[in-house]
Chain A
Amino acid sequence: MDNLGLVAAVSIAIAGITMAIGSIGPAVGEARAVAQALNSIAQQPDEANTITRTLFVGLAMIESTAIYCFVVTMILLFANPFWNYFISQAGR
């Protein structure tokens, strides 16, 4: 396989793997956080406002790990620097 095909194949495969693994961790983390928050709200409904606000901020911070993986995937798929480099090499 030539360099270009290799880069394309590896990029696409790694993009899929990144998304797959990168969504497992945050999913488990968010599930635990939400379950705990629901428990707390059930025990202390008066504090629901504070709990919900903290929960949202926490969820966003947990979710950002998944978002990093997504950004890397998008870069690999649509703005791949290695792909562009080999294209410019082939153009010479």
Chain B
Amino acid sequence: MNISPDEIVFIDWPGWGQLNATIVYTWVVLFLLVFICRSITAKLTSQTKISRWQNTLETIVIVINNQIREISRQEPGRYLPFIGTIFIFILTSNVLAVFPGFSPPTGSLSTTVALALSVFTAVPVYGIAQNGIGKYLRSYIQPTLFMLPFNIIGEISRTLALAVRLYGNMMSGTVIVAILLGLVPLFFPVVMQLLGLITGVIQAYIFAVLALVYITSASQAQKNNQEMKGER
């Protein structure tokens, strides 16, 4: 039993690197998404009669937009590319896990750490773009200077938590099915697969929501402080 798809190695170049299942299945997911999106967006129309595929894409974009608007209480335009990409990538790789032989790339700690690190860098990028570098750095010494180390620790630990949460959830799904296959081979693993599908979708949603909350809190906290000072 493999605890992570990193251990399934297809090609090994000693001293140079190796091509493992994580990389290959990430490529599969990327290729699938890019291929589907390119083939749909190649013939977009703004007429009243649209193809059903364009309808599907528009629905997805509108749903994500609405969610971002409800959670962040801001216009979704600037957050949509980042949050939407993360959500759709994780969702696709989690849902594809039902295919036999496919092990989801999100079940590997390397993928989830990469995703969490991109959120980790997106927070200051969006914060600085919104508030300027001075105001963003000042948010680290809110409410007092003594909170500086705790703010920094919080920033790092939530990135770690983001990575380990997604990894643990996806890995537990595969491990539980693998263990149950040894105990009750026929029917029960199917039920656990269904449960794994639910967890996969929920985890994709939660990763995206948490990323959004972290990103908006960097700009939102500043705004709230100003409002509070204005009231005084």
A70 surroundings in chain B (CB, below 8 A): 168, 172
Number of interface residues of A (CB under 8 A): 14
Tell whether, in the assembled complex, residue B205 and residue A56 are in contact, meaning their CB atoms are under 8 Å apart.
yes
Please report whether the interface of chain B is mostly helix, strand, loop or mixed according to DSSP: helix
Complex CA gap A57/B211 in Å reads: 12
B70 contacts across to A, CB distance below 8 A? 50, 53
Q: Is B175 interfacial (CB 8 A cutoff)?
A: yes
**A50–B202 Cα gap in the complex (Å)?**
15
- Chain A neighbourhood of B161, CB < 8 A: 64
- A82 CB-CB contact with B under 8 Å: no
Given A57-B209, A57-B210, A70-B172: A64 touches B1 (CB 8 Å cut-off): no
Q: A-facing mask of B204-230, CB < 8 A → 1, else 0?
A: 011001100000000000000000000
Partner of A67, one of B1, B71, B172, B209: B172
Is A68 in contact with B205, judged by CB distance below 8 angstroms?
no
A residues near B69, Cβ cutoff 8 Å: none
Tell me, rounded to whole Å, the shortest Cβ–Cβ distance linking B5 to chain A: 14
Q: Which of A60, A64, A67, A78 contacts B202 (CB 8 A)?
A: A60
Chain B contacts to A: CB under 8 angstroms:
1, 3, 70-71, 161, 164-165, 167-169, 171-172, 175, 202-203, 205-206, 209-210
**In the A-B complex, the 10 residue pairs with the closest CB atoms:** A67-B168, A64-B165, A60-B206, A71-B168, A78-B3, A57-B209, A70-B172, A79-B3, A70-B168, A57-B206
